[in-house]
Amino acid sequence: VQLVESGGGLVQPGKSLKLSCSASGFTFSSYGMHWIRQAPGKGLDWVAYISSSSGTVYADAVKGRFTISRDNAKNTLYLQLNSLKSEDTAIYYCARRWSVDYWGQGVMVTVSS
């Protein structure tokens, strides 16, 4: 199992960014997937989940601003981040299945002017 995030970077407040998580080593379409973030020096904070049938749920802090999606043909998970705020600055991890059994290496998102 391998999960590789990409798409992070420095972005101004109010702007957008799209993260990707490329999956390999398992049948991606059969598993639900999470995005979980970790602000610098802080603990883990669940962001969003998409089921294998593409049902989605979000944390209140990101609802209406972030969108989780998946492309099973490309074995890729996405997170569209809109209307970014400074408090969204964090390492963003993708993780597999309901019980978070495998995690990617993470991608840094910095929101600053």
Partner 1 sequence: DVVMTQTPPSLSVAIGQSVSISCKSSQSLVYSDGKTYLHWLLQSSGRSPKRLIYQVSNLDSGVPDRFSGTGSQKDFTLKISRVEAKDLGVYYCAQTTHFPWTFGGGTKLELK
Residues binding partner 1 (CB under 8 A) = 34, 43-46, 49, 57, 59-60, 93, 98-106
Least CB distance from residue 44 to partner 1, whole Å?
4
5 sits in which H/E element:
strand 2-6
- Which amino acid, 1? V
- Would you say 99 or 113 has its CB closer to partner 1? 99
Least CB distance from residue 104 to partner 1, whole Å?
6
- Would you say 72 or 100 has its CB closer to partner 1? 100
